[in-house]
Amino acid sequence: MLSKLKKLKKPYIIIIIVVVIVLLFSVVNWFEDEDNHSNVAVIPITGQIVSSPIYNSDGSIDKSNAVSINIVNEIRKADKDKRVKAIAFIINSSGGDTASAQEITRAIKETHKPTVSLIRTLGDSSAYWIASATGRIFALPVSDVGSIGVTISYLDNTAKNKNDGLTFNKLSYGKYKDMLNPDKPLTPEEEKLVMVQVNEVAQIFINEVAENRHLPVEKVQSIADGSSIIAQDALKLGLVDEIGSFADVDRYLSKILKKNIHINILGYDKEEQEK
């Protein structure tokens, strides 16, 4: 081998050495990725689900919310990353904005990677809507699940304002422009209009859950009363797939991908602490 190398011109020897170094570096990195780094993109969905960042009084961003635009970007980034073999959503949320939930569910359905969700303490309302879009849902036995329904409830200050001597003066263009203003009573006509919107959004919610979970619409409709149930009961209704935790998610992904899959719990915990 050495004699052959001596016969080669210097530029060729340099090229061979560079190729060998690159190959060695790739092999080392491959083992590091397999043994020391998570091959699952972990995306937390915690707190209130909102469409854009909410700012505190001091101008800082309130990191306790799940911002849909950020989550969608994380999903797309994970989908393009060749090192990522699957995407896990760790959910602990009572819900939030329905439009934001739809943004996230669409991004989940567009990804080419296997997706899984783990509901920890809470996976209700819009948060459950998101979970239903993933390939498989895990939850702890006593996790709070479901709360399929829609609300546009509001506070009515009219009685208090009357006692305080305050009068609401309507100065607006558009018959329904002041609808849901807490300082004016809701008329029967306005209430009817609001309920039409609530029912329409609720039906979209129900239809999507039924489609995502491969359940009859009628079955989802029958349990869509806004109440939540513990996961062991949700399992019987088909709202979750398995009772389990992080280790069970690892085993499931390893099985379907035929590859050693592990969630970097430390990395997830760090993200949680930074919020």
> With contact defined as beta carbons under 8 Å apart, do 74 and 41 qualify?
yes
Q: 54 and 130 share a domain?
A: yes
Q: 135 and 249 share a domain?
A: yes
Q: Which pLDDT tens digit goes with each residue over 175-201?
A: 888 888 888 888 889 889 989 999 999
In terms of Cα–Cα distance, which of 161, 98, 156, 106 is closest to 125? 98
User: Taking the model in full, what pTM does it have?
Assistant: 0.79
| 30 in a structural domain | no
- State which of 132-141, 159-168, 252-261 shows the largest mean pLDDT: 132-141
| 50 in a structural domain | yes
- How open is the CA angle 223-101-188, to the nearest 5 degrees? 65
Structure tokens at 1: 């081998």
Q: 214 and 248 share a domain?
A: no
Q: Which residues form the domain of 215? A: 149-224
Confidence of residue 34 (pLDDT cuts 50, 70, 90): very low
- Considering the chain, what is the average pLDDT of its residues? 83
- Please write down the HEC assignment for all residues of 119-163: EEEEEECHHHHHHHCCCCEEECCCCEEECCCCCCCCCCCHHHHHH
| 87 in a structural domain | yes
List Cα–Cα distances, 67 to 16, 40, 56, 97, in angstroms: 50, 21, 15, 10
| 19 in a structural domain | no
- Give the pLDDT of residue 30: 41
| 32 in a structural domain | no
Confidence of residue 266 (pLDDT cuts 50, 70, 90): low
Q: 107 and 188 share a domain?
A: no
Q: 253 and 127 share a domain?
A: yes
Q: How many domains does the chain have?
A: 2
Q: 128 and 232 share a domain?
A: yes
Confidence of residue 273 (pLDDT cuts 50, 70, 90): very low
Q: 80 and 137 share a domain?
A: yes
Q: Answer whether residue 159 shows pLDDT above 90.
A: no
Percent of the chain with pLDDT over 70: 82
- Give the pLDDT of residue 168: 83
Q: 129 and 239 share a domain?
A: yes
| 21 in a structural domain | no
Q: 125 and 250 share a domain?
A: yes
Q: Which pLDDT tens digit goes with each residue over 69-118?
A: 999 999 999 999 888 889 999 999 999 989 999 999 999 999 999 999 99
> With contact defined as beta carbons under 8 Å apart, do 209 and 220 qualify?
yes
List Cα–Cα distances, 26 to 21, 22, 29, 30, in angstroms: 9, 6, 5, 6
Q: 153 and 143 share a domain?
A: no
| 1 in a structural domain | no
Q: 244 and 141 share a domain?
A: yes
CATH number at residue 103: 3.90.226.10
Q: 64 and 110 share a domain?
A: yes
Confidence of residue 56 (pLDDT cuts 50, 70, 90): confident
Out of 186, 206, 224, a domain closes at 224
| 122 in a structural domain | yes
- Give the pLDDT of residue 156: 85
Strand, coil or helix: what is 31? helix
